[in-house]
Structure 1
Amino acid sequence: MATETSLHVKYTEVDGMGIVHHSIYPLWFEKGREDYLRKAGASNSEISGRGFYLPLIQMECRFKSPARHGDEVTVITRISYMFCVKLKFEYEVLEKEKGRLLAAGKTVHVWTNRRIEPINIKKEDLEIYQRLRQFSESCSTG
């Protein structure tokens, strides 16, 4: 099991060819990631309120099929690995009606303090670490 985020393609998200512009997919990944963290009990606002950040250090997106204005899409998000200093999210963007794969990608993030210095989240905030670990394991086991 992974989290699912439903989105409608807006007119402002398409380019001159009538398909979703490539710059939109990272925004959809971010929305999926925000929903995942919130459902795991570790929202971005809670993480930053505790003095930590998860800046992105790597991103990849593979485009498979175009989405168009008016389409409903689902962003499936999961954590594929989680260590004390960094974690990787993986995403699939599907056309909701037919389940067609539109894009797949990943983002890698590092845990930092407010000075954007890398930290070990397990040592700095065991509660946040355990929430994410338990949620990611429950998702992977169904």
Structure 2
Amino acid sequence: MNPVHSRLQVRYGETDRMGIVYYANYLTYFEVGRTDFFRSHGLHYAALEDQGLLAPCVEVSCRYLRPARYGQELALATALTAMSGARLVFSYSLTLPGDNSLLATGQTVHAWVDRSGRPLAVKKHYPEVWSRLQELVSEVKHEESAPGGGG
């Protein structure tokens, strides 16, 4: 079930004068992937935030391999690749669906905090969320250790 796949359409306003996607817009694509990831696993950002569980991005990286262009359809794979008591890590892979050309890869690191911005012990205060996300991270680790798996 991990990773979650999203389809994106490059809009004109996301491109620069050269007709390629402006670099910062890849971070918006990653946000779409995270939202789709949570939703596909029965978790919703708004509901988590209403409960006082926040996960702001504290670190981001993106490696641009080939440009995405106006009008192209893009395929984004989003996976939860690590989680600890204080943080969770998502990895992203952006491709062209027709030939699977890799356009960009990235990663975001998020901190678990409460509404006041203080670190939050998710395992203690939100055990059902913790358990569900741990299952998803375990799926990734199992796939990577399987014969022929990545990693």
**TM (normalized to structure 1)?**
0.94
Q: Distance in 2 between matches of 1:11 and 1:141?
A: 40
1:1-142 to 2 correspondence within 5 Å? Answer: 1-138=2-139, 141=142
Whether the 8 Å CA contact 1:42–1:132 is kept in 2: the answer is: no
Distance 1:49 1:41 in 2: 15
Contact 2:57 2:110 (8 Å CA) reproduced: yes
Q: Supply the AA of the counterpart residue of 1:39.
A: S
Higher mean displacement: 28-37 or 126-135: 126-135
Q: Which amino acid is the alignment partner of residue 15 of structure 2?
A: V
Q: Cα deviations across residues 4-37 of structure 1 (Å, max 9, x unaligned)? A: 0100111111100111100110000000011111
Q: Is the 8 A contact 2:81 2:140 kept in 1?
A: no
- How far the C-alpha of 1:138 sits from its partner, in A, is 3.5
Runs of 4+ in structure 1 deviating by more than 2 angstroms, as ranges, are 135-142
SS of 2:24's equivalent in the other structure is helix
In the alignment, structure 1 segments of 5+ residues that lack a partner are none
Deviations 1:35-86 (A, max 9, x none): 1111122210121021110001000000000011111101110111111210
Aligned residues with identical type, % of pairs: 32
CA RMSD between the two structures: 1.3
- For 2:114 and 2:16, how far apart are their aligned partners in 1? 38
CA distance in 2, matches of 1:45, 1:135: 20
How many residues matched? 142
TM-score with structure 2 setting the length: 0.89
State the SS of the aligned residue for 2:62.
strand
The CA distance in 1 between the partners of 2:6 and 2:54, in whole Å, is: 22
Q: Which structure is richer in relative contact order (CA contacts within 8 A, separation 6 or more)? A: 1
| 1:140 to partner: Cα distance | 5.1
Letter in 2 for 1:87: L
Residue pair 1:88, 1:108 contacting (<8 A) in 2 also: yes
